[in-house]
Amino acid sequence: MPEFDLLLRDADVIDGSGTPRFRADVGVRNGLIAAVGDLGNASASQVVSLDGLALSPGFIDVHTHDDRLVLSDPAMTPKVSQGVTTVIVGNCGISLAPMGMTPPTPPLNLIAGDQDAHRFDNFADYFAAMDAAPPATNCAALVGHTTLRARTMASLEREANDTEIAAMRALVDEALRSGAIGASTGTFYAPAKPATPREVQAVFEPLRGTDAVIASHVRDETGPVLDSIDEVLGIAAALGVRQVISHHKVVGKPNFGRSRETLAHFDTRRREAADPTRVCLDCYPYAASSTILRADTVAIAKKTLIAWSIPIPEASGRTIDEFAAERKLSIEQAIEALQPAGAIYFSMDEPDVERILAYPETMVGSDGLPHDRFPHPRLWGAFPRVLGHYSRDRGLMPLERAVHKMTGLSAMRFGLKGRGFVHPGCAADLVVFDPQRVRDAATFEAPTRPAEGIIQVLVNGVATWVDGRHTGARSGQAIRRRH
Ligand code: ZN
Ligand code: CU
């Protein structure tokens, strides 16, 4: 019997911890990293010589809306092609479980299909579906507050009453017992806007005393951004759990430059926290955002691209200005005519994006919207863009630190044990890439072009992406929180 299933020789190992790379061999056995070091003439069923290419942990996409994609298109090509081996779903308050047959009011329509397939009353069923038909990446899940409201409340225009809170709490309980790693909120969106901090804290009471996490799309990323951050940090602190500020940014021209203030604020809040690792954030590496089409967001964007529209699908990829002019509509009328719809908003300042990405505590998440007809390029490019454009070309941070932000740091903050590092005993989620060539190829004009320089991707030890091609492997696992 050979010692290893796979032996990767002469790799430049970037192990996910942020420390300098080192030359080593890595042995994989039974889906796990079995040994790292000079493995001499160890025997293996398969030996691959990497000749100094970079070998790092597979990337963890901490901010996704892949809830349905893991089942509807389990090859997960937009993610695997970037080197992503784990996705965290259920962000921004939006989760597929336990949506059940609740009508998918926006923004739930970003993930819910119009078919009855892939609808789940609870997390046990959602995870069971993934076990039965595994996707190509691992998947960990958050339970979304907006989903809970839509599922339990007769009217979404007010705060939840005690009966509704009890019903939501029971669903949170089920989610946690079934293996959800935490919860998410999105009070930015209409169906959750009337929720008060009191409601959110009461609904998430079952998280108290656990190592679960809350990730939040905060109420307002414009003028009141600091208050919005403090609102969610306050709830998490009261529950004694970790809080992630999702896709941290400052939007709208009057707020350009204010990332100086928000990052100093994070420093302060981390210093004051009972545990500084409870104050967390992620971002995507672009100066444009994307979500459902809404007038207030169009109003503060320099330019808005239509990502999808149910009644007028052919408008996808056009700017809202062009579309309105062509149809002789006002912007307001154009927005109305396109609904339900999604859009890409150019409403950030590049120096803010760089400053936030470079902040040592910031993790990388794509926030990709996989069901959009004309998606934001972050869906196919976020991770290679950080490695190529921001780390190598712009020199924003050493490659080791860039990798840490998408592997070890993410695994620690989201409580994914045994992942995120090239260490013996960790899952063999690995990516081989060429540091000189790695780059994102997806653009706002051609948003679904696969990245370059990602040479090999292993998920739980199984080769899934090799030399620019998907192998068809689907060796991902539903990652359940361990109690
Ligand atoms: Zn969001
Ligand atoms: Cu999101």
Rg (CA), the chain: 22
- Say yes or no: 319 and 247 in one domain: no
CA 456 remoteness from chain centre? 21
Gap from CA of 47 to ligand 1 centroid (Å): 42
CA of 32 to the centre of ligand 1 (A): 33
146 near 97, Cβ under 8 Å?
Answer: no
Same domain, 249 and 188: yes
Cross-strand pairs, 118: none
Domain assignment present for residue 88? The answer is: yes
Look at residue 115 in the predicted model and tell me its pLDDT: 72
Q: At what angle do helices 123-132 and 162-178 cross, to 10 degrees?
A: 30
Asked if 253 and 340 sit in the same domain, the reply is no
pLDDT of residue 293: 98
Instruction: Tell me which residue of 439, 340, 331 sits closest to 385, measured CA to CA.
Output: 439
Q: How far is ligand 2, taken at its centre, from the CA of residue 382, in Å?
A: 14
Structural domain of residue 171, as residue ranges?
Answer: 58-296+345-417
Same domain, 240 and 336: no
pTM > 0.75: yes
Whether 305 and 291 share a structural domain: no
Q: Any idea which ligand is nearest the CA of 248?
A: 1
Q: How far is the CA of 290 from the centre of ligand 1 (A)?
A: 9
CATH of the domain at 319: 3.30.1490.130
Encoded amino acid at 364, one letter: V
Is 32 buried (19+), middle (13-18) or exposed (0-12) by CB count in 10 A? middle
pLDDT score, position 129? 97
The rounded Å distance from CA 53 to ligand 1 centre is 35
**Residue 173 within a domain:** yes
- CA–CA dist 455, 384 (Å, integer): 12
Residue with tokens 């809040």: 269
Distance 124 CA to ligand 1 centre (A): 25
Residue 43 lies in a domain: no
Work out how many domains the chain is built from and give that number.
2
Q: Report CA(38)–ligand 1 centroid distance (Å).
A: 44
Looking at 367, 388, 417, the residue that finishes a domain is 417
Instruction: Describe the strand order of the beta sheet including 341-346 as a list of residue ranges.
Output: 288-292, 341-346, 303-309
Q: Which helix (H) or strand (E) holds 13?
A: strand 4-13
Q: Pick from 389, 417, 445: which residue ends a domain?
A: 417
> Would you say residue 11 lies in a domain?
no
Find the ligand nearest to 111 CA. Answer: 2
354 is a domain residue: yes
3-state secondary structure of 76: coil
> What per-residue confidence (pLDDT) applies to 52?
87
Ligand 2 centroid to residue 330 C-alpha, Å: 29
Q: H-helix or E-strand containing 413?
A: helix 408-413
Do 324 and 383 share a structural domain?
A: no
Ligand nearest to the CA of 142: 2
Report DSSP state, residue 65.
-
Q: How far apart are CA 203 and CA 180, in angstroms?
A: 15
Dist. CA 363 → ligand 2 center (Å):
14
Residue 376 and residue 285 in one domain: yes
Cα 233 from Cα 246, distance rounded (Å): 12
- CA of 211 from ligand 2 middle (Å) equals 22
In a domain, 10, yes or no: no
Domain check: are 215 and 287 in the same one? Answer: yes
Cis peptide preceding 375, ω within 30 of 0: no
Cα 436 to Cα 344: distance, rounded to the nearest angstrom: 30
Please indicate, yes or no, whether residues 97 and 191 belong to a single structural domain of this protein: yes
Q: Please give the distance, rounded to the nearest whole angstrom, from the Cα atom of residue 368 to the centre of ligand 1.
A: 10
327 lies in some domain? yes
54 pairs with which residues across the strands? 12, 433
Is 23 within a domain? no
How far apart (Å, rounded) are the C-alpha atoms in residues 231 and 225?
10
Find the 13 Cα to ligand 2 centroid distance in Å: 31
Q: Give the distance (Å) from ligand 1 centre to CA of residue 121.
A: 23
Q: Are residues 206 and 257 in the same domain?
A: yes
Of 391, 417, 443, which residue constitutes the final position of a domain? 417
pLDDT tens-digit readout, 367-420: 999 999 999 999 999 999 999 999 999 999 999 999 999 999 999 999 999 999
Residues 336, 408, single domain; the answer is no
Q: Please state the separation of Cα 336 from the chain's center in Å.
A: 29
Q: What is the pLDDT of residue 483?
A: 65
Same domain, yes or no: 226 and 338? no
The pLDDT assigned to 1 comes to 83
Residue ranges for the chain with pLDDT beneath 70: 483
- Domain of 215, CATH number, reads 3.20.20.140
Smallest CA-to-CA distance from 4 within 38, 49, 35, 37 is with 35
DSSP per residue, 163-226: HHHHHHHHHHHHHHHHT--EEEEETTSGGGTT--HHHHHHHTGGGTTSS-EEEEE-S-SSTTHH
Q: Is 416 helix (H, G, I), strand (E, B) or coil?
A: coil
Q: Which ligand is nearest to the CA of 219?
A: 1
pLDDT at 113: 84
Amino acid at 80: V
Ligand 2 centroid distance, CA of 141 (Å): 13
Kindly report, residue by residue over 316-330, the tens digit of the pLDDT. 999 999 999 999 999
